[in-house]
Structure 1
Amino acid sequence: MARKTKAPAVPTARVTSEIRDVMAEIAATVISDYFFDPEREEDYRATLAHAKAAGKAPFQLDIDPDSADIDAGACYLTLLGLKDLGSFRLCILGPDFEIASDGVWSFDTGEFSPAKVAIAEGTARALLSGLDQLADTLLMAESLDELAALKDMFEEEGDDDLLPQSQGAPAEQAVLARIAKRIAATRDPMLTLEERELLDASPHLLPVTLETFIEEAAKPGMSSDAPLLIAWACIFFAQLELLRFRLEGGYHWAGKLLREAQERILTAAEQAEVPAESWMLLIKSLTDARVPISASMQERLAEAGGMLNGDTLSSEDLLGSVREMLDTLASMSESPFDIVDSVQGNSAITPPNVRCFVATELMGSENAMLADAVPLLLFDLDASVRRHVALTLDQATKARALSATSLRRLIGLRNWLPPRERAAIDSTIRTARIGGMEPDAWPRTPDKVEVLASLVDGAAGQSVILIDRSERKMTIAGVLIRHGVGVVDAWIQPGLSRRESSELLEVVRQDIGAKRVGTSFGDRIVQHALAVGLRDEMVPPASLLRVAEAFGISTWQDRHIDLAAEVETEFGQLPPKDRTTAGLAALHARALQAMDRIAIFASWFEAGTDIEKRYAKMPAKQAVTELLKRELQEKRRDWAERFLFTALRCKASQDPLECDVAAPLFAVARALTGDEPLSGIPAMQRIAKATVEALPHGKLPY
């Protein structure tokens, strides 16, 4: 291969300390990974002895990976063994730089001591930028492999007493630091798929992140809006959310980690370890991640937060501080949604009675924006708060204090509330209409709207992405649903430049596999999710209304999709030949092929503490048989729904390859809505095997 023309050489004596440090970090990563297998040390010693005897030192070691991609192109790595035991030279040939560094590896301590930079060619900027990216790539890849193994160990039994006591190995802590550094530098809080996988595989690192945040926040001059502190808060939020998913999936130890994190946050306030503004970032993370918080813990956190602010927390002082907070919010917010985000962002330390008082104060405010925030408080997760808000709105309507915008929002969100709470809203709307009030017009639908949707993942999650291309600055929004649960999140990013929108859409397409679909599909699954959530009286987040207004969607209601009827309708539309016995067998075979080919299906399996306890030590074939008879049979309807909505998404896709998968998945969904034994459905056999594969020591012999 012809080598590129080299940039001017950088004198090695003038290589910056940053370049030396990053190069040493890369060398340590490469060498520690190479000697991870103990047998390699014996091979190395034997090769060194032979090379010295033959006078052939230095000699090359076979490392993997020996190349990695950075933004400018490929980097090629070579590790050379020098003549002295433990002495190595790492050579890196990049697209616009070349560097080689010597150092000594200690087999006793597992540490690398850099000695000198032997070669450095290229500009200092190219060297530092290239090495920094390379370090991120190598360290992340190494940690994902290690943490995948750690995950199996961590979940071996799933009991609380098996929680690791370690606070994280140095390599793991370094990975967290690099994620934080990346977020702080780019101001992009969205984690990459690799970063999320890493955090998901290492739940024991939650206290590491929390302690690091507290240490950073306590540093002199560290403000609550410092990029690095915000970055650690983003990581903490992601870990909390992932642990909440584990808890909902049946992993009881996740609850213990979450409770311990809350106790540590409480202690940080009681002992005044961090400034109040920084502590509130932790509280916002707890709230945004929807972590379960007991009433007693909520009261303790509220009291500790008051102490941290120097409040006595008498009723009069507390209410006075709320009024002061609302005045501040009014001056800082651009819309009622911003007001509600701030109020609900602190709900982890705001008891329901205080949130009721906030609603009353907002409605009585002379500031129109504050008053218009009140209807949005109907999305509070506490039913008692929602009832108080409804009463407050009714009283305001009788006093003719309700705005046309608030009336329009009440009409729009009425069907997003539990059925037994709608009568109060209907009464308010009726009173307003009798009094001659008219709602303002619903925002118009943008001219150029695209809708993307993901397949259903292993946690029954599915995303709908909306894109407004009508203006030069784009708006992108997302709705996250969980089948069987409801609408769990909604977000919107308006005013994106071409570059910002391209970067965000690349993440959406690559990380969650979203593909373009018709508008009707997105509408249907959002409305179905609304109905599913309201079945358990779970209201959607207020941000869903913000998304609906931005895209002029006034038609989202609670419209449940009947599983059996939908399956029969779709099955009836298949060609007659596919509905024969032979045709169905062919469809089931194609479904199995699709599940082997499409990556998302690798996440389709059962998990949880009970599954692990029952099956981890059972022979694999027996475990598969029992799963088909017990857990999978009990969740037969859930799996039928998952296959149905994945099939509907494939049918709606504009990708011909995905459209071709719809019919086979409809066939599986129909079999699941019937009474056919699961052992006779190939797709369910695959899921049972995948469940066993995911268990500790659960590798199948076939």
Structure 2
Amino acid sequence: MNTAMQTTHKVAALYIEKLRDMNYVDTSELPSKMMDEFNLKPQLAIDFILALETLDDSIDHINTKILLRLIDETFAQIRYSMDRKDKKAVSLITQAQEALNTVCPKLGNNIRVGLNQTLYDSKLPLEIHSVDPCNINQKRSQPIDIMPKLPELLESLRRQKVYKTVFELYEMVVPQFQAFSDENQLALIAEMGCSKKPIAHELSVLMLLHPKASVRRVVAKVLLQLADTKHFTPIDVRRLITLRNWVPVDERSEIDAIVSHLRRNGVSPAPYPSTKISKIVGSSTDGAGVLCVFIEAKKNNQRQIAGFLLKINVGIRDTSMVHKAPKQYLDDMINEQAKNNLPMKPVSKTYVNKIVRHFLSETIENGNVPDATFIEIAELVGADNWQPQALSWEAEVDRLREIYQDQLSDVSIQRSLQRSGDWHMREDIAHSWFDTGELAEQVVIEAANQHESNPSASLEDITTRLLMKDRLDKWKWVLLFTCLWMRSQQVHELTADLLVVLHCLDKQIDVAKIPLLENIAAQTAANVCRREMLLLL
């Protein structure tokens, strides 16, 4: 083993040893003490991936669980870096893929299963390039032995209650499918599509939301060739119509052809199931541009909790569904978010419909599709109108301006701007209202240089203008979504002040003259300096 590889393995071993010393048992998340003591940099993902070859093939061994959890956490850091469009993100993805290519042929099947799940959860453009795991000696293009047995296997798992719904099955199957070549994945999907087993056929329809575009684009063609009406149900047709609007435009024609064929043969879409929504809560939009929604509904006298994250310039991110939830489950989730200082409040279904349609359009614009679980959520809330429709920032501000017209005199504007200046610190409105990443670091350096060259110029003004030069579009949307959130259900008493900030941005007033933006820039600079100090410790 070369010296560089030995060093890599020592780095991973250090983190594993530290976590074991902390009696780390719950591998669902890293302990806060660990996050406080170590700066878990995204580039450590490469070290952790390469260290996988030092493990035996036991997925249940604590060292394996810890290392996969560390990989998951560093993958999340890379994902945040990609969302911010940091230049280093592209390089990190390339290095991570090279590390996977190096180590994966040496891994046993059990470790590969865990790694496949981690890759799937990360939503990063990474994959395992290797031969199919069911036969390590076969060529990628050869058919796989499991194919004819798959529908029966899925049915057997259903009888054993390994999964409750086809959506849970999808989340189980897709990560492992991605260990196969595209050709073999499509062959498996075709086998499910022509199966007489209902669960296999349902799953084949959901594969139209496969995360890998090269597979997803062919699935519709495969199903079109198999469009035997006796296998498709009204529920299948309803889902086809729904997800047709959730895929990129150039992937819709084959789905349209399937639906038309089924309609001509008398298979109509099933209506959305009847459910009773008992509670909807949503969060404010944080500094990363993320907001979340939780929905509690009753279906067949069972309480179900749906949740999803939305991110500005990204789209629909993480989705979840809890079946047979205890009575206090949602309240406990809200209390947990409160501990993390994330503001949440009851919101209306109208508000949720509006933001979902917008973020669906962003998802598609980025060439992605929502998780299959998002269909389950849409069916739970009866959201037959969840179709992509981007909001116009200007039109929304105009609409809000009409409501608060009496707050827009010169005197009222100045008072509002002063009142909202410290809102980045208000726990009932804001959470982490500052910027991070390469751009934030560059802004702090450039602002210091400009101030040194011209000491009479305000450092605060310089920092604000430099930051907002590249981040203003994001902050305009953060503030707009926060304003819409404040108005939903029960209108917050300070909503008009935030509308004034939006009004000033629309009128292109100097950002350095808007106290809230100036304080966001100051908080950004403070956060950068704090991180730099931690790196020196």
Scaled by the length of structure 2, the TM-score of the pair is: 0.83
How far apart are residue 347 of structure 1 and its match? 5.6
Q: Output aligned runs, 1:69-84, within 5 Å.
A: none
Deviations 1:413-445, CA, capped at 9 Å, x for gaps: 222222333333222222211111122232212
**CA drift at 1:521:** 1.6
Q: Give per-residue Cα distances to partners, 1:106-146, cap 9 Å, x unaligned.
A: xxxxxxxxxxxxxxxxxxxxxxxxxxxxxxxxxxxxxxxxx
Amino acid at match of 1:332: L
Give the alignment of 1:20-31 within 5 angstroms.
none
**Does residue 1:674 correspond to 2:507, yes or no?**
yes
| Residue 83 of structure 2 corresponds to residue 245 of structure 1 | no
Question: Structure 1's 235 and 523: CA in aligned 2 closer, same or farther, altered over 3 A?
Answer: farther
How far apart are the structure 2 equivalents of 1:203 and 1:454?
A: 27
- The corresponding residue for 2:427 is 598
Match runs of 1:168-567 below 5 Å: 176-177=19-20, 181-183=24-26, 189=28, 202-203=41-42, 206=45, 218=56, 222=58, 224-225=59-60, 229-230=64-65, 233-254=68-89, 256-257=91-92, 259-272=94-107, 275-293=108-126, 298=127, 301-303=129-131, 306=133, 310-315=135-140, 317-324=142-149, 327-333=152-158, 334=163, 335-346=165-176, 348-397=178-227, 400-445=230-275, 447-468=276-297, 474-498=303-327, 503-511=332-340, 512-567=342-397
Does the aligned pair in 1 maintain the 2:360–2:387 contact within 8 Å?
A: yes
User: Would the alpha carbon gap of residues 402 and 532 (structure 1) be closer, same or farther in structure 2, given more than 3 Å must change?
Assistant: same
The whole-number CA distance in structure 2 between the counterparts of 1:691 and 1:383 is: 37
Task: Tell me which residue corresponds to 1:640.
Answer: 476
Deviation, structure 1 residue 175: 5.5
CA contact (8 A) 1:591 1:664 kept: yes
1:691 aligns with 2:520: no
Cα displacement (A) at 1:532? 1.8
SS in 1 for 2:144: helix
Shift of 1:458: 1.8
For the residues of structure 2 that align with 1:501 and 1:539, how far apart are their CA atoms?
27
Q: CA deviation digits over 1:553-583, x for unaligned, max 9?
A: 322111222111111111221151x110111
Q: Aligned partners of 2:83 and 2:169: how far apart in 1? A: 30
| 1:172, distance to aligned residue in structure 2 (A) | 6.0
Give the distance between the partners of 1:501 and 1:638, measured in 2 at CA: 30
Deviation per residue, 1:281-318 (Å, 9 max, x gap): 0121012101222xxxx4x6323x63xx5522225654
CA deviation profile, 1:430-470 (whole Å, cap 9, x unmatched): 2211111122232212x242111111112111111112267
Which position in structure 2 is the counterpart of 1:44?
A: none
Q: Distance in 1 between matches of 2:392 and 2:172?
A: 38
Alignment CA distance shift 1:423-1:684 (3 Å): same
Identity fraction in percent: 20
Q: Which letter maps to 1:475?
A: Q
Deviation at 1:229, TM superposition (A): 4.8
Change (3 A) 1:510 1:359: same
How far does residue 338 in structure 1 lie from its aligned partner after superposition?
Answer: 3.3
**Normalised by the size of structure 1, how large is the TM-score?**
0.65
Structure possessing the higher radius of gyration over alpha carbons: 1
Structure 1 CA distance for aligned equivalents of residues 505 and 13 of structure 2 = 48
Structure 1 pair 575/564, CA: closer, same or farther in 2 (3 Å)? closer
How many residues are paired up? Answer: 513
Q: CA deviation at 1:374?
A: 1.9
How far does residue 394 in structure 1 lie from its aligned partner after superposition?
A: 2.5
1:89-104 correspondence to structure 2 within 5 Å = none
Distance 2:154 2:512 in 1: 59
Say if 1:241 and 1:318 are closer, same or farther in 2 by CA, change over 3 A.
farther
- Please give the per-residue CA displacement for 1:495-552, whole angstroms capped at 9, x wherever unaligned: 2234655544432443343322222222221111001222233211111112222333
* CA apart distance, 1:480: 0.8
Q: 1:665 to 1:191 in 2, by over 3 A?
A: farther
Q: Return 5+ residue gaps in structure 1 as ranges.
A: 1-163
> Take 2:265 and 2:199, find their aligned partners in 1: how far apart are those partners?
22
Matched AA of 1:493: V
Going from structure 1 to structure 2, the CA distance change for 1:195 and 1:478 (only over 3 Å counts) comes to farther
